[in-house]
Chain A
Amino acid sequence: MHEAGIAAGILKTVIDAAEGAGASRVNTVDVTVGELTEVVEDALHFAWGAATDGTIAQGSKLEITMLPARSRCADCAEVFGHGRYDGGRCPACGGYVVDLLAGRELRVDGIDID
Chain B
Amino acid sequence: MKIDIGERILAANDDLAAGNRELFAEHGVYVLDLMASPGAGKTSTILATIDALRDRYSIAVIEGDIASKVDAEKVRAHGIPAVQINTGGACHLESAMIRRAVDTLDLDALDLIIIENVGNLVCPSDFDLGEHAKVMILSVPEGHDKPYKYPNIFQVSRAVILNKYDTVGVFDFDEAEFREVVGSLNPHAPIFPVSATKGDGVDAWAEWLAERIEAVKEGGSA
| A residues at B contact (CB < 8 Å) | 1-2, 5-6, 9-10, 12-14, 17-18, 21, 23, 31, 36-39, 84-86, 88-89, 96, 106-114
Contacts and interface: CB of A to CB of B under 8 A. Distances in A.
B1 A113 contact: yes
The 8 closest A-B pairs by CB, nearest first: A2-B123, A106-B9, A84-B151, A9-B9, A110-B4, A96-B187, A108-B5, A88-B187
A71 B120 CA distance: 28
Contact of B185 (A21, A85, A114): A85
B91 A2 contact: yes
A106 B8 CA distance: 6
B2 A10 contact: no
A9 B122 CA distance: 18
B155 interface: yes
A38 B185 contact: no
B126 A111 contact: no
Given A1-B91, A2-B91, A88-B186, A13 B1 contact: no
Interface class of chain A by DSSP: mixed
Contacts of B125: 38
Contacts of A36: 152, 155
Interface string B92-127: 101000000000000000000000000010110111
A82 B129 CA distance: 27
Nearest to B156: A104
B9 A85 contact: no
B13 to A, nearest CB: 7
Interface class of chain B by DSSP: mixed
Contact of B3 (A6, A38, A88, A110): A110
Contacts of A2: 91-92, 122-123, 126-127
B181 A21 contact: no
A17 to B, nearest CB: 5
A109 B6 contact: yes
17 contacts: A1-B122, A2-B126, A9-B10, A12-B12, A36-B152, A85-B181, A89-B184, A96-B187, A107-B8, A108-B5, A108-B7, A109-B4, A111-B2, A111-B5, A112-B2, A113-B1, A113-B3
Contacts of B170: none
Contacts of A84: 151-152, 155, 185
Given A85-B181, A88-B187, A89-B187, A1 B6 contact: no
